[in-house]
Amino acid sequence: MLIRATRLLDQAVLVGTALVVIDHDALAEGVGAARLVGAPNFVSESVGMLILALGWVGIFDHYVRYRADRFVEFHVQLRNLLKAVTVGTLALLGISALFLPHTVELLGLLTFWGVVSVIVVASRVALTGLLMGARRFGYNYRYLLMVGTNQHAAEFAGKITRRSELGYKVVGFIAESAESRHAWEASGGQGKVLGTLADIRRVLERERVDEMLVCLSVEARFRTMNEIITIARELGIVLRIAPEAADGAMLEKLHIEEFDNEYVITLFREQMLLQLLVKRVVDVVVSAIALLVLAAGMGVVAILIKLTSPGPVLFAQDRVGMNQRRFKLYKFRSMVADADERKSALAHLNEVDGPVFKIENDPRVTRIGRFIRRTSIDELPQLFNVLRGEMSLVGPRPPLPDEVIRYEWMFRKRLSVKPGITCVWQVSGRNHITFERWMQMDHDYIENWSLWLDLKILMKTIPAVFLGRGAS
């Protein structure tokens, strides 16, 4: 009842405040003038208000989430409310510009945001105070059974006990085994142990329990977790799972879909879709502009390559891209035409550890090739690979197929994203870094990827290219 009431209150405040800040004189003048020339502005304005009202419902449902989620902290609730009000204000701005021109001014928008924010925040403060008052008289509590007697369970129970506003009472603990129960009691663990996992049915039969909170390792106790889920479903008890840190990294991107009346649970699904879209747009725009700006210079380089050594201008090589997709990587040819055939004879001169072949003073490099490699000009044709979507401006360098074959298992994660023209390795010393450190850099890049990180790498690439750090 309270959840439904707050939903209705929020929408009433939005609509009521909007009606106050809209310039009704300007609206009436616009409608009157429109009627004189026969234009149906009244209809368009009505449609605009309807779209705005429906939009506010969707915005607040998305940010506020009108559910009985007791584990959402109060400051998080307020933050989500203010996000919803801010987006709702932007929606008012957009709709007024499209359907109600000249009816909402900047001062009106600021007033709308301020009034709505104050009222909805005050309503949540009052609601929290009402619930806290009820709990002082023993109402509105949920009785919680903790499953687990490990450190994680003890810390979680302590947090819940200290947050009285959550409205929980911890009735006791279920130990993983008799040994863990003895260890808990011997160490003076806070909270009564009501039994072990083997006793969980009997504990639920005799104790008042509304919810269970499982603090066990999902990976180590998968079969046990399944049994607990079955018991909770049979008794109609709310079941919550507080995974350990290692499990949390696995479950944080869990996504449930429905396909043809079947459920599909997806782990490790990419969530940063908007950032990925922006990354692709930037790749296309920057690579296209760069190719236009650098066209004349690239033409000069092509002529110099052709005049100084026999063979093609471009060097095309099979590389491994995202999820082992093969593609042709293009470079300006910096070596003699038969460089690949001579590679095996020079294997003993390799100066880089791991499955990579690099020689600082490679005898196969041509005169012009040494210059374009030192200045990274030989990489410029890869802008065509970026434009085609095979590569990105920033990402792990694309490996050769025979290098991938020799990768250790953990190194293969670098194949989960598009390769790039530049990366952390290239701005950190290139050939002066060990292969294992290089792989760790790529792993860290993938784990911490953001548009801001890409921008920082691009900015660092400029001095690295001019100074020729690690290039050969």
**31: confidence class by pLDDT, cuts 50, 70, 90:** very low
Most confident range (mean pLDDT) of 34-38, 145-149, 337-341 is 145-149
What's the whole-number mean pLDDT along residues 180-208?
86
So what's the pLDDT on residue 113?
93
Q: What's phi and psi for 330, nearest 5 deg?
A: -110, 135
So what's the pLDDT on residue 39?
43
So what's the pLDDT on residue 142?
85
* Percentage with pLDDT > 90 across the chain: 24
Distance of CA 13 to the CA centre of its chain: 33
Structure tokens at 461: 């690439």
Going from the C-alpha of 245 to that of each of 212, 218, 242, 252, the distances in angstroms are: 19, 10, 9, 10
Instruction: Please tell me the least confidently modeled range out of 20-24, 239-243, 323-327.
Output: 20-24
Going from the C-alpha of 126 to that of each of 4, 76, 131, the distances in angstroms are: 16, 16, 9
The CA angle 22-27-28, to the nearest 5 degrees, is 130
Neighbour count for residue 428 (Cβ, 10 Å): 17
Q: Which residues pair with 422 in a beta bridge?
A: 394
CA distance 402 to 394: 23
pLDDT over 50 at 419, yes or no: yes
So what's the pLDDT on residue 77?
86
What's the whole-number mean pLDDT along residues 281-289?
94
So what's the pLDDT on residue 102?
65
pLDDT over 50 at 34, yes or no: no
**24: confidence class by pLDDT, cuts 50, 70, 90:** low
Q: Identify the residue with better confidence: 69 or 191.
A: 191
So what's the pLDDT on residue 192?
87
Domain residue extents for the chain: 2-136, 142-265, 273-467
pLDDT digits (tens, 9 = 90+) for 223-274: 788 888 888 888 888 888 887 766 666 666 677 776 567 667 666 666 677 8
CA distance 469 to 225: 53
Q: Are 445 and 423 in contact (CB under 8 A)?
A: yes
pLDDT over 70 at 194, yes or no: yes
Q: Which residues contact 34 (CB under 8 A, 6 or more apart)?
A: 40, 41, 42
What's the whole-number mean pLDDT along residues 156-160?
87
CA distance 372 to 361: 14
Superfamily of domain 142-265 in the CATH hierarchy: Nitrogenase molybdenum iron protein domain (3.40.50.1980)
CA distance 329 to 104: 54
Q: Identify the residue with better confidence: 132 or 212.
A: 212
Angle between helices 273-293 and 295-308 (to 10 degrees): 60
Most confident range (mean pLDDT) of 59-73, 101-115, 414-428 is 414-428
CA distance 64 to 77: 7
Going from the C-alpha of 407 to that of each of 255, 420, 435, 443, the distances in angstroms are: 30, 19, 11, 14
**Element counts in the chain: helices (H) and strands (E):** 17, 11
Computed over every residue of the chain, the mean pLDDT equals: 82
So what's the pLDDT on residue 248?
65
What's the whole-number mean pLDDT along residues 346-369?
73
CA distance 106 to 129: 35
pLDDT over 60 at 28, yes or no: no
Structure tokens at 37: 């020339």
**32: confidence class by pLDDT, cuts 50, 70, 90:** very low
pLDDT over 70 at 385, yes or no: yes
What's the whole-number mean pLDDT along residues 195-203?
89
